[in-house]
Structure 1
């Protein structure tokens, strides 16, 4: 296995948790919950590789927990194994219909539990490897457009559920066509790779995502990030790319630089009022993550109009972009 697997055990019986923990000891990092609602929050926060779930619990049942997790894009791919004393065929069919991958009866047989957990962990981690390959840009090593679209959709659902801040940065390399024309496409590819590495270093948190949007354009997804945080990352990106000191004789700036457009959906953006007043808005007017990307694109255009090698922030309801960083070069 490429990394230490994580396993969430959910059971309101602490002795059952201990028994299961002992049976799968050594197969991964184990944590547990004794209530359904706590299990849902842990799964969303920790993203375990596998969940062992008691079907019968007070409050939210295991079946309801499974349904919630499978309907949430951020947790839908986590395999769930039901562990229950009720092994009737109809109950097993119900669990499998909800998306569970297996059923284990109580009282458990430790060797059987360990074998099934090991098998499903192997399958999960193998699928994760394939998904990473399918969602990685072959040249830069960043997330590709497919991964970007999925991440934005998933994080946007989290925004609507938790009402936490969310920011996007859209950027591209200044005068990149001139760079290709002057140095050739092989050097252009090397430039893209170097800039991509700098961007990856600026997306520091595990929840952040640096992705290639297309050509010389990139997007940084910043969950739980307000305008101030987004502007700080934008400034850091500009400085990091400048620090590469890649010569660019065809640019008035002399070195490779980037322009960055920032947009945020937070308490100060006005975005929540758009959602809350949707019924009062004209038919079809809805704000979403795709619109937020359009706002970031307007900010990027403003940064380029201001001379490039700079960042701009565009408020959702603003008519013009607002400067967030110094313009150190220009046409």
Structure 2
């Protein structure tokens, strides 16, 4: 599968310096620009860069402050930073390295040196990312593993609270998988697990969506910024995608082919009773802050139980209601 070009964030209050760096580095990567520390952090959150070239001294928020903020941000703490500075004093470089900087480039910028050093850091970063991805992928199915799911759910739950966005979760279970293995053998069972995983992966389109193997014949799908209706549409598409694989299953009590059951849960603002008989669970503010996504997982698991005991090859959903702000009239 083709990979996208590396992403560079160039940060300097001098637009002439940015223009020079951009002209030199455009062949190496996708570029974004910021002229102050606050904008740099905002852009980095919108699209996490592979490398940041950061002016050490800027009005307002300095490059050192930006680097320190990144080091304390779970989303950005592994992004390498190269300081670009007119200072060559040992104390300045030592201070930057103590903050976690990967390298220093001194002004005036020499384009050949800039390209060579940035190229080296990009290659190292991308190689490290590849090793990390390999460690986080389920070896059989090719989708993310349980560790990635646990981390992603925690991160997306926190983001959903911070930005007041919906968050949906699907639990997907292959119906009658033990009889399938008994009938066709474990080797064919492994082939089927991989095929189902890829069918699920083929339904989700956004980079932020995550399909992971939860264990055995169960998969989980994290859907950030997805409403209940949106999650239902994705679940229906997944049911159809697996059915269209047309994998024979003579030992199934549900259908002559492999099917899946799906339990879904969505955490969102609930304006009233949910359509379609969806079970609604109200959460209070303290529970939400301490939860970390556990209630969403528990609700999806309960919905999956209902789907399996209601005939299988279907999706059932629960709705978790986020606490609504209330005015007490005090001023």
Give the TM-score normalised by the residue count of structure 2: 0.87
Shift of residue 154, structure 1, vs aligned partner: 2.8
Please, which of 302, 308, 311 is the counterpart of residue 304 of structure 1?
A: 308
In the alignment, what sits opposite 1:206? 207
3-state DSSP class of the match of 1:314?
strand
For the Cα contact (< 8 Å) 1:266–1:272, is it kept in 2? no
Q: Distance in 2 between matches of 1:153 and 1:66?
A: 24
Partner of 1:79: 80
Counterpart for residue 109 of structure 1: 110
2:284 maps to which of 274, 279, 284: 274
- Cα contact 1:238–1:309 (8 A) shared by 2: yes
Aligned residue pair count: 312
Task: Please tell me whether the aligned partners of residues 36 and 61 of structure 2 are also in contact (alpha carbons under 8 angstroms).
Answer: yes
Q: Equivalent residue of 1:103, what SS? A: strand
Tell me how large the CA RMSD over aligned residues is: 2.3
**Residue 254 of structure 1: CA displacement?**
1.6
Q: CA–CA distance in 2 between the matches of 1:185 and 1:47?
A: 41
Question: Which residue pairs with 1:322 in the alignment?
Answer: none
Secondary structure at the residue paired with 1:246?
coil
Residue pair 1:247, 1:254 contacting (<8 A) in 2 also: yes
Change in 2 beyond 3 A, CA 1:220/1:17 = same
- What does residue 321 of structure 1 align with? none
User: 1:93-128 deviations in whole A, cap 9, x for unaligned?
Assistant: 332222221122222222221121011001001011
Structure 1 residue ranges without an equivalent (≥5): 319-331
Does the 8 Å CA contact 2:268/2:321 hold for their aligned counterparts?
no
In the alignment, which residue of structure 1 is the partner of 2:247? Answer: 246
Contact 1:80 1:101 in 2 (8 A): yes
2:188 aligns with 187
User: What is the CA deviation profile of residues 169-222 of structure 1, one whole-angstrom value per residue up to 9, with x for unaligned ones?
Assistant: 111101101111111111111111111111011121111111111110001111
CA-to-aligned-CA distance 1:252-287 (integer Å, 9 cap, x gap): 222111111111222229999623xx2xx7xx9822
- DSSP-derived class of the 2:139 partner: coil
Q: Which residue of 2 aligns with 1:219?
A: 220
The separation in 2 between residues aligned to 1:10 and 1:267, in whole angstroms, is: 38
Structure 1 residue aligned with 2:145:
144
The answer to whether the 8 A contact 1:274-1:287 is kept is: no
Q: Which secondary structure does the structure 2 equivalent of 1:187 belong to?
A: helix
Does the 8 Å contact 2:282/2:321 carry over to 1? no
Structure 2 gap segments, 5+ residues each: 272-279, 323-331
